[in-house]
Structure 1
Amino acid sequence: MKTRAYQLCALLAVAIMAFVLLRYGLSPGSLLLALLLAACPWGVIWLSYRLTRQAESEIDAAIAASKQQRQGNQPGKGV
């Protein structure tokens, strides 16, 4: 659900950026606003990438902890 919200935010920002540039032309203020709105999709991409990496590292840590717990619960062989 969050992924769709991020994508919708990025799409909306690009649409507003295009509207501002078409409506007001290439004035310094409209260029500044367009650049600010263009930063939103890049922020969405960066945020999605960071959250994906964080989730992957948390999954890897949970798997490692689970493996250690399983090895600790098994009885010793031949002792």
Structure 2
Amino acid sequence: MKTRAYQLCAVLAVAIMVFVLLRFGFSLGTLLLALLLAACPWGVIWLSYRLARQAESEIDAAIATKKPKEQNSEPGNGV
């Protein structure tokens, strides 16, 4: 669900950027607004990638701390 929202946000920002440039022409103000709108999708992509890498490293760290505990434990008596 969140991925679709991110993609929709990026597409909407690019559509507004193109509309502003076509509707109001090329001037310093419209170019700055277009650059700001173009930066939003890239920021979302970068943030999503960074959070995914952080979550992956946290999972790897949790697995690494759990493995030595399992290897050091002795098997219990089965009933």
Report TM bin, short chain.
Answer: 0.7 to 0.9
In structure 2, the partner of 1:63 is: 63
Residues 6-30 of structure 1 show CA distances to partners (whole Å, capped at 9, x for unaligned) of 1111111000000000000001111
Q: Equivalents in 2 of 1:15, 1:38: separation in Å?
A: 10
Residues 46-72 of structure 1 show CA distances to partners (whole Å, capped at 9, x for unaligned) of 011101101110110111122022023
Per the TM alignment, residue 74 of structure 1 is displaced from its structure 2 partner at its CA by: 2.5
- Alignment size in residue pairs: 75
SS in 1 for 2:26: coil
Q: Equivalents in 2 of 1:74, 1:41: separation in Å?
A: 52
Give unpaired runs (5+ residues) of structure 2: none
Q: Equivalents in 2 of 1:46, 1:29: separation in Å?
A: 26
One-letter amino acid matched to 2:11: L
TM-score for both structures, normalised by structure 1 = 0.86
One-letter amino acid matched to 1:53: R
**Is the counterpart of residue 74 in structure 1 residue 74 in structure 2?**
yes
Identity of aligned residues (%): 80
